[in-house]
Amino acid sequence: MKKSLSGNTWSGSTWDGKSIYTKKTQEDDGTGRLYTITANFRKYPCVEDSIADHSAYLLGAMNGSKLRYAGLKGCADYKKAVRIIKDGGYATSITYVEKLVGIIERWNLTQYDVKEANTPATKPIAKRTIHDITKENLSEVPRSRGGNKIEFIVVHYLGVPNADNSYLYGGGYGGHYNIKRDGTIYKAADPKTGVVWHCGGGLQGSGGHSFYQICTNFNSIGIECGVCYTDTSVKDASGDSDQWYFTTETQESLVWLVAKLMDEYGISADHVIRHYDVTGKICPNPYVKNNRLRTSWTWDEFKSRLAEYRKSGGYDSGATEETTSWYRVRKDWSDAASQKGAYKVLENAKACADENPGYSVLDSDGVKIYSSKSAGQETPTVPFLVRVSIDDLNIRTGPGTDFSRTVRYTGKGVFTIVEVREGPGSDAGWGRLKSGAGWCSLDFCQKI
Q: Which ranges in 312-444 belong to alpha helices (H)?
A: 346-355
Closest CA to 253 of 184, 324, 312: 184
Part of the chain binding Zn ion (CB under 5 A), chosen from 21-29, 59-67, 156-164, 345-353 = 156-164
Backbone angles phi, psi at 313, to 5 degrees: 125, 0
In this complex, which beta carbon is closest to Zn ion, that of residue 174 or of residue 429? 174
Q: Which of 275, 294, 303, 432 binds Zn ion (CB under 5 A)?
A: 275
Question: How far apart are CB 244 and Zn ion at their closest, in Å?
Answer: 12
Question: How far apart are CB 337 and Zn ion at their closest, in Å?
Answer: 21
Question: How far apart are CB 283 and Zn ion at their closest, in Å?
Answer: 3
Q: What is the CA radius of gyration of the chain?
A: 28
In this complex, which beta carbon is closest to Zn ion, that of residue 174 or of residue 431? 174
Question: How far apart are CB 118 and Zn ion at their closest, in Å?
Answer: 24
Report the C-alpha gap between 414 and 407 in whole angstroms.
20
Q: Which of 188, 237, 283, 395 binds Zn ion (CB under 5 A)?
A: 283
Report the C-alpha gap between 113 and 111 in whole angstroms.
6
Question: How far apart are CB 175 and Zn ion at their closest, in Å?
Answer: 8
In this complex, which beta carbon is closest to Zn ion, that of residue 12 or of residue 200? 200
Q: Which of 42, 68, 83, 156 binds Zn ion (CB under 5 A)?
A: 156
Spatial contact of 256 and 128, defined as CB atoms under 8 Å apart: yes
Question: How far apart are CB 205 and Zn ion at their closest, in Å?
Answer: 13
- Site map (CB under 5 A) of Zn ion, residues 99-138, x = contact: ----------------------------------------
Report the C-alpha gap between 223 and 177 in whole angstroms.
5
In this complex, which beta carbon is closest to Zn ion, that of residue 68 or of residue 275? 275
Spatial contact of 442 and 431, defined as CB atoms under 8 Å apart: yes
Residue 339 CB contacts under 8 Å (≥ 6 apart), including other chains: 247, 295, 328, 329, 330
CA distance to 254, 311, 344, per residue, from 315 (Å):
11, 10, 19
Part of the chain binding Zn ion (CB under 5 A), chosen from 107-115, 274-282, 292-300, 350-358 = 274-282
**Contacting residues toward Zn ion, per CB under 5 A:** 156, 275, 283
